[in-house]
Structure 1
Amino acid sequence: MKRPVLVKLGGSVITFKDRPLAANIEAIDRISSVLAGVSPLVVVHGGGSFGHYWSVKYDMHTKPAAYDPHGVSVVHESMVALNQVIVNSMIKAGSNPYALAPPVFTSGHRPLPSKIKEIGAMAQAGMTPVTYGDVVHMGGKKYSILSGDALMSMLARALRPSKVIFATNVDGIYRDMKAKELVSEMRPDGKVEFSDVLADVTGGMQRKVREAFKIASLGMDVMMVNGLVPERIAEAAGGKTPVGTLVRGRR
């Protein structure tokens, strides 16, 4: 049985982060046409100028708290709206996407392994499960942001995908941002120190690097590529090594 390819579409790729609620339709459509050729496949996407924009506005974080219920509603609804744009684009491209909100396979921040196995079974049977970072209920009046990056680790741990790909709006991880010096390969226990890299990447990218290292420490390779050049996603899914950063899985 072929293990699925797991792809994360960063919010900076699928939306225009400088404009509230602005989906990058052209980028989404180009990615959808590339993903139509990948199977079995599971997709996760970020919030960009949808969920991220509103979570900042309502001061919501990953730390569980009694956030404004109206804000919870607005953040969640904006993610459903962005998910619809992506799913409809994928349908148009000939894929069989199936939208799944995180509470279908998580309880707060805890994965439900049997439910995640069902996601894998759906992918094997020709559907493409599509999930996303969202605001989730933590019990009582408490809610929390569960990021798409965190979902990648949960899904990777349970599904053991054949390929794990993070598509961002840059070519990969840079050793030196100013000189645009790309790190072509890293290891969780290797020469490029995690802390060295983290000193030179932004908050959003730090989270991705952290999750990529987590997944690599489970023994899976993780490829970080530029999603605005969708062919690189296809190459990574097909087993090639495109321009990007390979975080080598611990063997």
Structure 2
Amino acid sequence: MIIIKIGGSVLSDKKRKFHFRETVVKSIAYEISRFFPEEKFIVVHGGGSFGHPLAKEFAIREGLRDYSSRHGFVLTHLAMLELTKKVAQSFLDNMLPAFPISSSSIFITENGRIVKGYMDVVKEALSREFIPLLFGDVSFDEAKGIEIVSGDEIVLHLAKEFKPEKVIFLMDVDGVYDKFPGGRLIEFMKAKEISELTLEGSSGIDVTGGIRKKLEVAGEIVKYSKEVWFVNGLIKDRLSRAIVGNGIGTVVVP
């Protein structure tokens, strides 16, 4: 099994509210179709320009406060449902049965970390040769009342549950750089080296932690998977090459 995370910066331009890169997502779906159903997949996607701006506008990460936060909680969830509908349709156009599973319905968080996850629907979907499609979403939170459950947090929980062969993060750059822009691409690293890295630079709106958080998550994921890849999801065949193990990007190993 392979878990693929489609970053919000891949499926949308985060600087353009409610923007969707249909051609890019269809290309990703086509690459997955080369290997499915012989290979099992779970796909998780980020919030992009659908979820992040609303989560920031309504300060969802500050927790449940008043009517405004409840209003924003619902609006953010509805925006994510709209985005996942677009992703699922792009997969269907490539004959891939991606089945959307609402993350807010199966995960409970505490300060944004998943503490309860109900995996039965995911398991049933896999057993029937569907591709479970999950997404970064709002969550009911035991500490704050409401929170955001990020796509990266979801990927980590899925890795613990399903022990995938590999996890692939699709980004809008070629991998992890020590400095961005203008830095060096880090092609290989061991999990123990992540805490020693000094990273500089970021772009767009991201309320879930950015590349530093992704690397920390990767360090956890490799306890349950052989390798974690960071590759450019905007360039044709980069995903396919990572799937077969001959990728261009950054690979993290135990």
TM-score normalised to the size of structure 2? 0.87
Matched with 2:232 is: 226
> Could you tell me how far apart the structure 2 residues matched to 1:12 and 1:21 are?
12
Q: CA deviation at 1:177?
A: 2.9
Aligned residues of 1:111 and 1:154 also touching (Cα < 8 A): no
Q: 1:242 maps to which residue? A: 247
* AA partner of residue 241 (structure 1): N
Measure how far apart 1:48 and its partner are.
Answer: 0.7
Partner of 1:143: 146
- Structure 2 SS opposite 1:85: helix
User: 1:79 aligns to what?
Assistant: 80
Q: Secondary structure at the match of 1:49?
A: helix
Is this contact kept in 2: 1:21–1:49, CA < 8 A? yes
Query: Which residue of structure 2 aligns with residue 31 of structure 1?
Result: 28
Offset of residue 136 of structure 1: 1.0
Measured against aligned partners, the alpha-carbon deviations of 1:139-166 in whole angstroms (never above 9, x if no partner) come to: 5982100000110100001100112000
How far, CA to CA, are the matches of 1:172 and 1:244 in structure 2?
A: 5
Change (3 A) 1:45 1:18: same
Residue 186 (structure 1) aligned to one of 180, 189, 200: 189
**In structure 2, do the counterparts of structure 1 residues 235 and 124 end up closer, same or farther at CA, with 3 Å as the change threshold?**
farther
Instruction: Determine if the alignment matches structure 1 residue 105 to structure 2 residue 110.
Output: no
Query: Please, which of 160, 164, 170 is the counterpart of residue 161 of structure 1?
Result: 164
What is aligned with 2:197?
Answer: 196
Letter in 1 for 2:221: I
Q: 1:171 to 1:121 in 2, by over 3 A?
A: same
Q: Match for 2:219 among 194, 213, 224?
A: 213
Residue deviations 1:102-145 (CA, integer Å, cap 9, x gap): 14432232243xx3265245224310000001011125982100
Residues 229 and 137 (structure 1), Cα distance of their counterparts in 2 relative to 1, 3 Å cut: same
Distance 1:215 1:205 in 2: 15
User: 3-state SS of the aligned residue for 1:189?
Assistant: helix
Distance 1:12 1:178 in 2: 16
Q: Counterpart in 2 of 1:42?
A: 42
Taking only the aligned residue pairs, the percentage that are identical comes to 26
Partner of 2:64: 65
What is the letter of the counterpart of residue 46 of structure 1? G
Distance 1:159 1:167 in 2: 20
CA distance in 2, matches of 1:133, 1:178: 26
Q: Once superposed, what is the RMSD of the aligned Cα atoms?
A: 2.0
**Equivalent-residue separation in structure 1 for 2:166 and 2:15 (angstroms):** 31
| 1:195 CA displacement | 3.6
How many Å separate the matches in 2 of 1:196 and 1:143?
A: 32
Q: Could you tell which deviates more after superposition, 64-73 or 127-136?
A: 64-73
**Pair 1:56 & 2:53 matched:** no
Report how many residues are paired: 239
The answer for unaligned runs of 5 or more in structure 2 is 203-208
* Deviation for aligned residue 1:176: 3.4
Identify which of 126, 131, 147 aligns with 1:123.
126
The one-letter amino acid paired with 1:42 is I
Equivalent-residue separation in structure 2 for 1:116 and 1:236 (angstroms): 26
Question: Shift of residue 201 of structure 1?
Answer: 4.8
Letter in 2 for 1:25: E
Alpha-carbon distance, 1:20 to partner:
0.5
TM-score (norm 1): 0.88
- Between 1:39-48 and 1:218-227, the stretch displaced more is 218-227
Structure 1: any 5+ residue segments left out of the alignment? Answer: none
